[in-house]
Chains A and B, each alone.
Chain A
Amino acid sequence: MIAALLSLTLLGLALGLGLGFAAIRLKVEGNPLAEELEALLPGSQCGQCGYPGCGPAARALAEGAAPVTLCPPGGRPLIEVLAAKLGVDADLSGAVDSGPKVAEVQEDLCIGCTKCYKVCPTDAILGAAKQVHAVFREACTACGKCVDVCPTEATRMIPLPATLQTWYWSKPEVST
């Protein structure tokens, strides 16, 4: 009886001390899940999700405060990856999928101010002062930062035009 009491008390004490020690000395800064999630996000810090950047968005995701459908540039593939990571069902109905978009510089309006070129988080805009700018479609995430800074409204978002390489059959009519 006494032996059992003693051993359990000692065990409890030792484990408690160990845990207390670990809580102080081995403390993890930040949520490790948030870091993993941030690695999955596009990293363009565009703010379209309503959070100031991909880091805060990842933290909100980890806490469950934000839906997995929060990131427009990531599109459906990202939603699926996030849903798998967080073990939730992706509610695709919440995702407004208007199809992929891409930035376009209207050449007759561009004054070559280089503002868009400076804010582009993925270096998708080519340009120099007083020269008409152009967009690399392969690098554009359609984050919309260039649209916000353009003084002449020369940049806009257009639906990504289909090419012979990317076109595919549309969804058939569903029987009623």
Chain B
Amino acid sequence: MNVASEPFLKRLLVKAGLSSSLHKLRGGVHPEGRKDLSAEPPIRVLPMPERLYVPLQQHIGAPARHLVGVGEVVKKGQLLAASQGMVSAPVHAPTSGRVIAIGDFPGPHPSGLPMPTLTIEADGLDAWIDADPPADPFALSPEEVATRVGAAGIVGLGGAAFPAAVKLNLSRRNEVRTLIMNGGECEPYLTCDDRLMQERAAQIVEGIRLIAHATGAGEILVGIEDNKPDAIAAMTKAAAGGPVKVVKVPAMYPMGSEKQLIQVLTGQEVPAGGRAADIGVLVHNVGTAYAVQQALCLGRPLVSRIITVSGGAIMAPGNLEAPIGALAADLVRACGGLREDAARLVLGGPMMGTQLTSLDVPVIKGSSGVLALTVQEVEQTRPGPCIRCSSCVRACPMGLLPLEMAARIRAGDPAGAVDWGLKDCIACGSCSYVCPSHIPLVHWFNHAKGDLAARERLKMKNEATKKLADERSARMQRIAQEREEAARLRAAKKAAADAAKKAAAEAAAAAKAAAKAKEEVEA
């Protein structure tokens, strides 16, 4: 839907201020927010744990390559691991201390598989490296801003952890016109962006202007859900008189999803299989803007973030500024520990977060929350059969038919689900949330996406090994031929040598005979 095709009456109402200029979002659900648990107390700084466990893969893309050795003394902000590949991000030391181990450590990943991790023993000084921030970051060229953002290890802090510099470069190439800052924070329980916007609005706005400078975007919108009035007030005040426009959007899940926020604010829809940049829009999280400001104005790489610690099982929920690599258990301890045994531990939000089996995993750049949920908060029911009520169809913000896709996957036909739009599924979990039969629809979709990727990998491997097998058989043939050739040559040589020997022997015999005959004649 574009602006021109909207009904004339609606435009008139918007102009008269009688109707909202926002566009309607398709689908969506209204889970219980439970943000009041952690929204009130101001952000506290987590006391530095004795040890930090810094994973080398905290972002989407290739893992970083470590540059320091065991025993090395590092300062806070020192580069620990360099990015490798096009889509990757470096990792910096979250505090000063000594590297005491490099190896596998349980990571914050749904598989629970160990990740390559650097363990740092903090020296308690928390001493920064010497920073060299530019005198005026706005005097830097857009390329230079993107390079510095990349070098600071900044990734999307909304949760997906996509390297921010890659996104900046991509959007410059695509001529982005609209920059949207995501302050939606639609996941229940999470309040880290809310607190950040209330307490550090000025820095965020400066970061937003830097991102706009790096991309050349003309229109700058900050979308904040209407359940965060204090954050809206703080941001509006900080942005007053500038190009940054704060827009109140209705509280609804998944409003904080990139594609949904774009649709609500601009009325444009990202084409199926496309990116936001395809329609001239770039979306960044407000937390990312704060990290950009810290990196460019203070020269500080991304080594800590605001994390919500919440849930019914937490004694004193709140928001902590925690160094990357602190254990989830450290954060829970700083919030008074557990009130009761948690029925479920989650890293991130309850809708899209990662379920943890233990609190002894480090928090990383993309971790927005540590939740300990009680039995009452977690609905644990066995799935029933699909009754084709189509609640999931109404809830799907992407306009897909979850029940049809799930039926295909259940029948062992994930390719059929792709025909129904599986690739456009954003895995927000709205369908699972509304399903009256408690079918884990989003789990099915995640499974099918992984299954399809695995098939693709196997296909590529088969092609590669076939090439190897062909090359080997060609090589074997060549070697056999060469052997034959060599054997023939040897045989020919031997025959020649034999012939020569024979000839020589004959000649010698002839000479002998001749000599004998001569002797006889002389005698």
**A residues within 8 Å of B by Cβ?**
41-45, 73-78, 92, 100, 121-124, 138-141, 162-164, 166-175
Contacts and interface: CB of A to CB of B under 8 A. Distances in A.
A170 B465 contact: no
A170 B458 contact: no
Given A77-B455, A164-B113, A172 B462 contact: no
A44 to B, nearest CB: 5
B413 to A, nearest CB: 10
A139 B468 contact: yes
A76 to B, nearest CB: 6
Interface in B464-522: 464-466, 468-473
B44 interface: no
Contacts of B458: 75-77, 100
Contacts of A122: 465, 468-469, 472
A57 to B, nearest CB: 14
Contacts of A170: 447
Interface of B, secondary structure class, is: helix
B437 A175 contact: yes
A141 B469 CA distance: 10
Given A43-B470, A166-B457, A175-B385, A77 B450 contact: no
Given A164-B107, A168-B449, A123 B472 contact: yes
B440 interface: yes
Contact of A166 (B107, B454, B464): B454
B109 interface: yes
Given A43-B470, A168-B451, A175-B386, 17 more contacts: A75-B458, A75-B462, A92-B412, A123-B468, A124-B465, A138-B464, A139-B465, A139-B468, A141-B465, A163-B113, A164-B115, A168-B450, A168-B454, A169-B450, A172-B440, A172-B443, A175-B439
A93 to B, nearest CB: 10
Nearest to B107: A164
A139 B464 contact: yes
Interface string B376-388: 0000001111100
B110 interface: yes
11 contacts: A43-B469, A76-B458, A77-B462, A124-B468, A138-B464, A139-B464, A162-B111, A167-B113, A168-B450, A175-B384, A175-B439
A168 B447 CA distance: 6
A170 B446 CA distance: 9
A149 B100 CA distance: 44
B447 A172 contact: yes
A168 B113 CA distance: 11
A169 B110 contact: yes
B203 interface: no
Nearest to B461: A138
A78 B460 CA distance: 11
Contacts of B453: 168
Contact of B444 (A77, A164, A172): A172
Nearest to B384: A175
B410 interface: yes
B57 interface: yes
A164 B469 contact: no
B30 interface: no
Nearest to B385: A175
B24 interface: no
B447 A171 contact: yes
Given A92-B412, A167-B113, A174-B410, A42 B465 contact: yes
B459 interface: yes
Contacts of B439: 175
A172 B449 CA distance: 13
B112 to A, nearest CB: 9
Given A121-B469, A139-B465, A164 B109 contact: yes
A122 B473 CA distance: 9
A168 B446 contact: yes
Given A167-B113, A168-B449, A168-B454, A44 B465 contact: yes
Nearest to A39: B466
Ranked nearest first, the 3 interchain pairs of A and B with the lowest CB-CB distance are A168-B450, A122-B468, A43-B469
Contacts of B451: 168
Nearest to A100: B458
Contacts of A138: 461, 464
A139 B472 CA distance: 12
Contacts of A73: 462, 465
